[in-house]
């Protein structure tokens, strides 16, 4: 997948995101179109995202954690949560801006204590049974990237 250009905001996004979503792809792309690999979750991580009215939960895991070093934490990139030992999980409340097509999450709990209380804003779109969540962040080396997470509805 290359940098995804988002369609116009989804009408009724607050209702459209409700449900359980499975990660189908996750990619970080810089302004030149170069793909950057996230060493903490790997090339093809597993993930699940659950939305109930006003509450959400998210989990992401490096597909192969067998050689994962025990690490107390990791370098946290800009505008993003921090995985621990190849795993990232958090939950909390959310709100949507229907006009802008954004989702604002407020983290009440997280595998990384540094993330608790954080607020993040993401662009979101739903087309049929596909959810796209896009954000501006940085690669580990500090290069600005656009992260695009694609999910398919499973519930």
What are the pLDDT tens digits along the chain (155 aa)? 455 689 889 999 999 999 999 999 999 999 999 999 988 898 899 999 999 999 999 999 999 888 655 554 455 678 889 888 899 999 999 999 999 999 999 999 999 999 999 999 999 999 999 999 999 999 989 999 999 999 999 98
- Give pLDDT, residue 107: 98
Quick one: how far is CA 155 from the chain centroid?
18
Cα dihedral 55, 48, 36, 107, rounded to 10, equals 20
Task: Report how many domains make up the chain.
Answer: 1
The domain that contains 58 carries what CATH number?
A: 2.40.128.280
CA pair distance 27, 20, nearest whole angstrom? 20
- Give pLDDT, residue 68: 58
Asked if residue 66 belongs to a domain, the reply is yes
Asked if residue 71 belongs to a domain, the reply is yes
Token pair for 5: 């250009």
Name the residue among 120, 91, 83, 89 with its Cα closest to residue 108: 91
Query: pTM of the full predicted structure?
Result: 0.90
- Give pLDDT, residue 39: 84
Asked if residue 4 belongs to a domain, the reply is no
Please report where in the chains the tokens 């600005």 appear, as a residue.
144
- Give pLDDT, residue 72: 43
Asked if residue 59 belongs to a domain, the reply is yes
Segments forming the whole domain that contains residue 127 = 13-153
Cα dihedral 15, 7, 152, 91, rounded to 10, equals -60
- Give pLDDT, residue 74: 53
Asked if residue 17 belongs to a domain, the reply is yes
Cβ 149 vs Cβ 137: under 8 Å: no
Token pair for 28: 């970080």
Asked if residue 3 belongs to a domain, the reply is no
Asked if residue 129 belongs to a domain, the reply is yes
Asked if residue 6 belongs to a domain, the reply is no
């Amino acid at each position: 997948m290359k940098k995804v250009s988002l369609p116009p905001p989804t009408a009724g996004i607050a209702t459209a995101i409700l449900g359980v979503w499975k990660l189908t792809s996750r990619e970080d792309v810089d302004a030149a179109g170069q793909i950057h690999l996230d060493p903490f979750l790997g090339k093809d991580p597993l993930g699940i995202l659950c939305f109930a009215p006003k509450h959400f939960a998210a989990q992401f895991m490096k597909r192969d954690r067998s050689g994962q070093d025990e690490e107390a934490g990791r370098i946290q990139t800009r505008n993003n949560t921090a995985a621990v030992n190849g795993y990232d999980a958090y939950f909390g409340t959310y709100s949507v801006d229907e006009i802008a097509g954004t989702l604002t999450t407020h983290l009440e709990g997280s595998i990384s204590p540094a993330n608790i209380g954080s607020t993040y804003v993401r662009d979101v779109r739903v087309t049929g049974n596909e959810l796209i969540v896009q954000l501006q962040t940085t690669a580990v080396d500090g290069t600005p990237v656009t992260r695009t997470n694609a999910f398919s509805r499973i519930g």
